[in-house]
Structure 1
Amino acid sequence: MALTIEDKAGIIRTMDQYAHSYKNKDIETLSAIFSQNISGFGSGPDEIIRTHDDFIQHIKRDMTQATIHSVEFTDRRIFGDGMIAWVTSQSTMTYTVDGSTTQTIHGRSTMVLRNTGNGFIIEQIHFSLPCGEQSNGQSFPNSSIS
């Protein structure tokens, strides 16, 4: 069974809740829209999520280190079977650290979501940043094109 228009709207709603809650440091909502079995990766070398508690600890750390001005998921590609959905998106976050100049990072996100019957929750997440040492057209960092 393919995703319905309503399913896709529910998935977008969950992603928008994530963005809004992250920006507003709303741990309670973030906790509710992420599965108790959440797993995934963030962009930092130590950002490995194996449990819901890991996820909450990483989110709390993020929130103490920066003021988030916006989180946006764009160019979303949503697929699934009605019960499970998988999404890829471009992810843009604007933030400041200790009142510094506003910065923006452009990353990529993948998510796996599960339909609970009352909406979709995030079961798996991966956020990454393109490798700065890897140029367009290169498959590996620091490689030369012949």
Structure 2
Amino acid sequence: MNEPLTDGWQSNGKHLGRFEPPDIYHSLVRGDIDAPEVIRTHERLLQYTRDAGVPLFWMVDVSEIGRVLPAASRVDNPELDLRALLIVGASFRQRVLVTLGVKAHRLLFRRLLSLPIEFFPNEAAARAWLECERTKTTPHEAGVERASPHRTR
């Protein structure tokens, strides 16, 4: 990557991630995802969860995603404790693939069964939903735009 890292962004191969206090881990996915990158991301999530002392919201911008390589899709970390997974910028096809992947992961590992997974057209909508979740205001009451009409469970 040729651009300088600023504002707390850390490189993970071609991808970026940063902790945003008090409880957000923000990832920018660029290109293909391989297993070592997933493992490093999980390690960072675990460290920031320990530092924050609360489960994190994981906001992942997939607008520049490539392929998820097979080995990456098999990575699991039973120590991860997330409050919700927010997917930003996914196309319809990507939303379908993420939904299928999460359901397969839940069947294989019997984990993350109640983890909310939400899709948003942009970061602003994801952050608005996140604030509603923190205060327990309904997204509809706050006028939050979502990319899909349902939550993946």
Higher alpha-carbon Rg:
1
Do the structures match in fold with TM over 0.5? no
TM-score by length of 1: 0.28
| The structure with more strand, counted as a fraction of residues | 1
TM-score by length of 2: 0.27
